[in-house]
């Protein structure tokens, strides 16, 4: 009897323990389900995004010039949704795809305000010369013998490949067969302000200025409203065009609400010649002709005085400062610190790679722009790193009249951004991300590039252009160009 009672008691205790165990399991299961439900609700509550890019530092170039440690950018379509810390962005957005770069700087894509991309196939053809000798004895003859739509296509592909791999997302071009340049820009997934050259003597695509103007009008009509290409009118310079042609170029640009791109006061000779001819500087002459009456970008502006700068400011002309080119051709030192003090929209450009500069390296242009002004003014505080980076991003965008769309990482702007590695010897140690971008990092440190919400470079490899094919074509053209010059 006692044994039976004891057995029942043991059984009851065991049943009770099982019930308690079940209750514990049930409680754990409820907690798990609750956690899962909360995660699902959080994910459901988070706004959708196509991409989230994050990095150790995010340099925004927004009005506050914020540098966000452990930052991130959310992207939807071709636009930036939000910029903030990674924790903030992750809490608000659920992305289809992510790119996390804990050992990188995330920054706006670089804005090149003056170049001649297709001239990459003439790289180094004639070095260590003055501008007029370089143009008249080497470049113009080489162009006459070699430039064709196919030349421009492959030269632009080579230039675009170099620019994208070096973090340039927007380039401003001036060359022949510019419709072909525009086709390549779209193929590469690159943004461009692309000007068809108008010049006062026969060239590869047009034999007269009238023909060039007609060609340009067809080009403008074709690419109006393109998401990547801003077609432009590009009279080469005051000294290579008649007054009539310059007026017609401005009228054509205004008809299509297009920018006008022109070389301005690059050399002392250009200024002296115009002063001897009319008693006015090139800037003043072009103003008298009405050339500045509309959206304009002036490349170089080395030999400009206070009166010239007042005109350029009043007319809202963007300036493309080209430090490498101005140094290499011994053209002079543009008064950039004075321009910045006047708040002129000054950007940076490498110019062409055929002798005036031999690459498209915007990191080099930032570094040289700052150092050239320091040595010219004997002031180490002239043009600090922040201003140099501004010129390569948001101020360069202002020079192109595109500051509402590109040049900084802000909600609503186009998703043009880059990551730059900081895990290499030249990047360490890092105390100031902006200073590092200007004075230490190189074009070869760029790891990823996005333009218009589309990744175009990933892990230092271009996703849109066939690098091996482009380099093979460059070798073919080297042989052709060399043979043509014998």
pLDDT tens-digit series, residues 316-350: 999 999 999 999 999 999 999 999 999 999 999 99
On whether both 187 and 296 belong to a single domain, the answer is yes
What mean pLDDT value characterizes the chain?
93
On whether both 139 and 282 belong to a single domain, the answer is yes
Averaged pLDDT, 292-318: 98
Query: Which letter does DSSP use for residue 137 in this model?
Result: I
Q: Do residues 351 and 344 touch, judged by C-beta distance below 8 A? A: no
On whether both 140 and 1 belong to a single domain, the answer is no
pLDDT of 142: 87
Q: Which two tokens stand for residue 383?
A: 């043009």
Residues with Cβ within 8 Å of 449's Cβ and at least 6 positions away in sequence, in order, are 109, 164, 165, 167, 169, 417, 418, 455, 456, 457
Averaged pLDDT, 71-77: 98
Decide if 386 is inside a domain.
yes
Other CB atoms within 10 A of residue 150 CB: 12
How many domains is the chain built from? 2
On whether both 246 and 344 belong to a single domain, the answer is yes
Question: 281 falls in which pLDDT band (50, 70, 90)?
Answer: very high
DSSP result, 50-65? EEEEEEEEEE--STT-
Q: Do residues 348 and 396 touch, judged by C-beta distance below 8 A? A: yes
Decide if 332 is inside a domain.
yes
Decide if 158 is inside a domain.
yes
Give Dmax (Cα) for the chain: 132
pLDDT of 412: 98
3-state secondary structure of 75: strand
pLDDT of 33: 62
Measured in Å, how far apart are the chain's first and last C-alpha atoms? 122
Q: Please name every residue paired with 420 in a beta bridge, in sequence order, or none if there are none.
A: 105, 446
Averaged pLDDT, 375-395: 98
Averaged pLDDT, 445-459: 98
Decide if 204 is inside a domain.
yes
On whether both 386 and 277 belong to a single domain, the answer is yes
Decide if 478 is inside a domain.
no
In angstroms, the CA 79 to CA 96 distance is 15
pLDDT of 2: 44
Judge whether residue 40 has pLDDT over 80. no
On whether both 343 and 249 belong to a single domain, the answer is yes
pLDDT of 16: 59
On whether both 140 and 10 belong to a single domain, the answer is no
In angstroms, the CA 262 to CA 239 distance is 11
pTM of the complete model: 0.90
On whether both 34 and 114 belong to a single domain, the answer is no
Nearest to 107 by CA among 58, 66, 143: 58
On whether both 35 and 116 belong to a single domain, the answer is no
Nearest to 446 by CA among 18, 113, 109: 109
pLDDT of 453: 98
Judge whether residue 131 has pLDDT over 70. yes
Angle at 94 between CA 88 and CA 96, to 5 degrees: 135
* Pairing of the two strands 79-85 and 296-300: unpaired
Residue 29 is part of which domain span? Answer: 1-40
Q: Residue 187 belongs to a domain with what CATH number?
A: 3.20.20.140
Decide if 401 is inside a domain.
yes
Decide if 88 is inside a domain.
no
On whether both 145 and 20 belong to a single domain, the answer is no
Specify burial of residue 392 (Cβ count, 10 A radius: 0-12, 13-18, 19+).
buried
Angle at 90 between CA 87 and CA 96, to 5 degrees: 155
Q: Do residues 189 and 456 touch, judged by C-beta distance below 8 A? A: yes
List of long-range contacts for 139-147, beta carbons under 8 Å, 24+ apart: 139/354, 139/355, 141/485, 142/481, 142/484, 142/485, 143/176, 143/203, 143/204, 144/203, 144/204, 145/484, 145/485, 146/121, 146/477, 146/480, 146/481, 146/484, 147/118, 147/176, 147/177, 147/203, 147/204, 147/205
Helix (H) or strand (E) holding 461: strand 461-462
Phi-psi region of 267 (alpha: psi -120 to 50; beta: other; left: phi over 0): beta
On whether both 269 and 396 belong to a single domain, the answer is yes
């Amino acid at each position: 009897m006692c044994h039976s009672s004891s057995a029942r008691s043991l059984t009851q205790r065991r049943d009770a323990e099982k019930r308690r165990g079940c209750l514990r399991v049930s409680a754990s299961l409820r907690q798990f389900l609750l956690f899962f439900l909360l995660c699902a609700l959080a994910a459901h509550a988070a706004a959708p995004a196509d991409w989230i890019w994050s990095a150790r530092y995010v340099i925004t170039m927004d009005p506050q010039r914020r540098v966000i440690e452990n930052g991130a950018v959310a992207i939807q379509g071709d636009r930036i949704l939000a910029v903030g810390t990674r924790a903030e962005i992750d809490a608000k957005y659920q992305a289809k795809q992510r790119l996390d770069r804990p050992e990188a700087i995330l920054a706006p894509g670089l804005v090149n305000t003056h170049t001649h991309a297709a001239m990459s196939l003439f790289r180094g053809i004639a070095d260590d010369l003055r501008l007029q000798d370089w143009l008249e004895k080497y470049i113009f003859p080489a162009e006459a013998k070699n430039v064709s739509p196919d030349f421009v296509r492959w030269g632009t592909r080579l230039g675009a490949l170099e620019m994208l791999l070096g973090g340039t997302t927007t380039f401003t071009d001036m060359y022949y067969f510019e419709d072909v340049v525009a086709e390549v820009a779209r193929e590469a997934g690159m943004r461009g302000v692309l000007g068809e050259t108008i010049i006062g003597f026969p060239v590869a695509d047009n034999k007269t200025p009238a023909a060039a103007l007609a060609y340009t009008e067809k080009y403008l009509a074709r690419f109006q409203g393109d998401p990547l290409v801003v077609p432009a009118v590009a009279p080469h310079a005051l000294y290579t065009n008649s007054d009539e042609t310059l007026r017609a170029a401005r009228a054509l640009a205004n008809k299509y609400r297009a920018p006008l791109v022109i070389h301005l006061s690059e050399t002392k000779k250009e200024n002296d010649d115009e002063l001897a001819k009319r008693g006015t500087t090139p800037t003043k002459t072009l103003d008298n002709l009405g050339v500045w009456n509309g959206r304009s970008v002036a490349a170089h502006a080395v030999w400009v005085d206070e009166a010239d700068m007042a005109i350029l400011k009043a007319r809202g002309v963007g300036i493309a400062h080209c430090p490498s080119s101005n140094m290499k051709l011994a053209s002079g030192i543009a008064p950039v610190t004075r321009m910045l003090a006047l708040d002129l929209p000054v950007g940076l450009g490498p110019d062409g790679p055929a002798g005036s500069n031999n690459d498209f390296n915007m990191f080099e242009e930032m570094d040289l722009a700052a150092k050239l002004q320091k040595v010219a003014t004997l002031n180490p505080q002239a043009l600090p790193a922040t201003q140099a980076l501004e010129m390569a991003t948001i101020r360069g965008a202002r020079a192109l009249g595109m500051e509402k769309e590109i040049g900084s990482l802000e909600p609503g702007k186009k998703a043009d951004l880059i990551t730059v590695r900081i895990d290499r010897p030249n990047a360490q140690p890092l105390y100031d991300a902006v200073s590092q971008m200007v004075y230490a990092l190189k074009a070869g440190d760029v790891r990823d590039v996005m333009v218009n919400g589309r990744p175009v470079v990933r892990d230092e490899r271009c996703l849109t252009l066939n690098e091996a094919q482009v380099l093979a074509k460059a070798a073919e053209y080297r042989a052709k160009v060399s043979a043509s010059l014998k």
